[in-house]
A and B are shown apart, each in its own frame.
Chain A
Amino acid sequence: MHQFLARMGRSVFSGFARMPILEFSAVTMSYGRGRAKTVALRDVSFCVPEGAFSVLVGPSGAGKSTLLKLVLAMERPDEGTIRVAERDIHRLRKHSIPYLRRNVGAVFQDFKLLPDATPLENVSLALQVLGLPRREVNARASKALKQVELDPGTRRAVCRMSGGEQQRVAIARALSGEPAILLADEPTGNLDPRLSREILDVLGEINANGTTVMLATHDPIVRESGRVTHELELADGRLLNDTLADAMVPLDRESEADTEPRLAPGAMPVGAVA
């Protein structure tokens, strides 16, 4: 299983364009028990094709963060299956979960960085987990930092950096392991519009290089950025709309695509928004 997950990088999918890299099938998830039980997701099903720039939209409490936590195996669904690269991740044994997380990069609103460490040290941490030689750790961390237009040689602690720079460091860390999917939970939530656009540009570049990006946001700038190819709208734990731009049609829908409208009734075409 470890070998499978180690090979789960996007290279596995080269030549299989538009294959779903993430699938939710009838997923229900709740927190608490008895009277305190709160249903966070109800019967949610969707596919994210490889290479998509997918956004999860919806008001606070809609279930966006829960959905991302499920992909990272930080929570387990009550019902349904979640497949990452065709593997049911909630059937993974506990000791295999870290191997999944090495292939799913994650970026958070609060950055989750070591505040007193430099950007290079922060990014290196994610690579040390892989047990790579120091030289390779440094090389890959530097490359990831350059990719987000940061100076790998800076000795500044991240706590002395701007919010936008910190988010870039977090993105670089998520990218450094060359993940199959990059998840971002409100990555622009703490940033002003200018910095938000910068971060979206960075994420757009990453997506253009072939990495599937999935963003949970209620920042309108994201929808207006013109980069979104797939939009999932959640409200009260239900999936209201699953909208796919013309360019991205997952395999399981390709046959339907020729005869039926691709968008759910009432859904806003992503292309139109862009």
Chain B
Amino acid sequence: MNTLRAAGYVVSRALRGMAQAPMVQLLAVATTAVCMLLLGTVMLAWTNAQGVADAWGLDVPVTVYLHDDAANDEVDELVTRLREIPEVTRVESITPPQALERLADGLGGDAGMLEGIDAGVLPASIEVHLAEGTPTTFTAALGDKLDAFEVVEEVAIAGAWAEQAQAMLKTVGEMALGAAGLVGFACMAIVWSTIRLAVYARRSEIQILRLVGGSTQFVRGPFIVEGLLQGALGAAMALGILYSGFDTVRPFLEDGLSLLFAAGTLRFFTPTEVAMGIAFGAFVGLLGSRAAAGRYVVT
């Protein structure tokens, strides 16, 4: 119970501390938000590019479309034989209803267009995933061999351009990771300097708390909470701005994408991803404030 009360004090003192210097806090949160916005934009672009690539099936090197009258045992035999190939990492059978569901997912808000369409119009298929670095010559040879099976109607092979697109996506992904690192560091620096100012401004109080027997956690706690809140608020603000911007440009982008790639739905971060973003902000804030308060607020 005492710990709970102490935690209550720590949080309320942190909030009071923030209220005591509102301009400094606002500046820190806004600067953190700008950094986070940069990261959020890169992450959102990468997430949607990945989505477009998935919709196009770029992530599947070989897709085997089956005849409507293909017997189950023949399909099973084909799947078994494919799984025995060392270069094949994953084989997935897609039934017509599953194909329709995927199509609906890809259309997003326009999924209503598919209403009343029978899943039977779409062919069953087998998606074959290959190990990274598999030569294109192997993929082409595999396609030729698969074409010879009676149950197979058509074999679609993602070409060299698909590999390039995948490589580009990978680069964007790596850039997003790099940006996350840089932004994390920048946010930490912002929080660190703000908390150092707060520590300096409240040095008398720190000294008194130490003299009356305040534990290190008790004395340091408000600063840690302050940094954590700065980071979380900065991330939340960035996500809010990003959502507004995204919502405004989405219709234009989707129209453009439909024309260029025939893949027209874009999505914002899921609630889980939003929560993870805010948690990331809180975490870098915590690290920054821990570093700022650590050396100066000890027993």
Q: Which residues of A contact B (CB under 8 A)?
A: 72, 94-95, 97-103, 106, 112-115, 125-126, 128-133, 173, 177
Contacts and interface: CB of A to CB of B under 8 A. Distances in A.
A133 B9 CA distance: 11
Interface of B is mostly: helix
A95 B213 contact: no
B205 interface: yes
Given A129-B218, A130-B2, A101 B211 contact: yes
Nearest to A127: B212
5 contacts: A112-B208, A112-B211, A114-B208, A131-B6, A132-B5
Nearest to B212: A126
A112 B204 CA distance: 7
Contact of B209 (A94, A113, A129, A132): A129
Which of B6, B210, B212 has the most chain A CB atoms closer than 10 A to its own CB?
B212
A112 B215 CA distance: 18
Given A125-B208, A131-B2, A131-B5, A94 B213 contact: no
A222 to B, nearest CB: 22
A113 B208 contact: yes
Assign chain B's interface to a size class.
Answer: 20 to 34
B97 interface: no
Given A125-B209, A128-B6, 16 more contacts: A72-B211, A97-B299, A98-B210, A98-B299, A99-B213, A101-B212, A101-B213, A112-B211, A114-B204, A125-B208, A128-B5, A129-B213, A130-B2, A130-B213, A131-B1, A177-B213
B3 interface: yes
Interface of B: 1-3, 5-6, 9, 204-205, 207-216, 218, 299
A185 to B, nearest CB: 11
Contacts of B215: 95, 98, 129
A112 B212 CA distance: 11
Nearest to B5: A131
Contact of B213 (A98, A114, A132, A133): A98
B212 A114 contact: no
Contacts of A112: 204, 207-208, 211
Task: Give the top 8 A-B pairs by smallest Cβ distance, nearest first.
Answer: A131-B2, A102-B213, A101-B213, A126-B212, A98-B213, A131-B6, A131-B5, A98-B215
A141 B207 CA distance: 20
A159 to B, nearest CB: 12
Most B CB atoms within 10 A — which of A97, A99, A131, A177?
A: A131
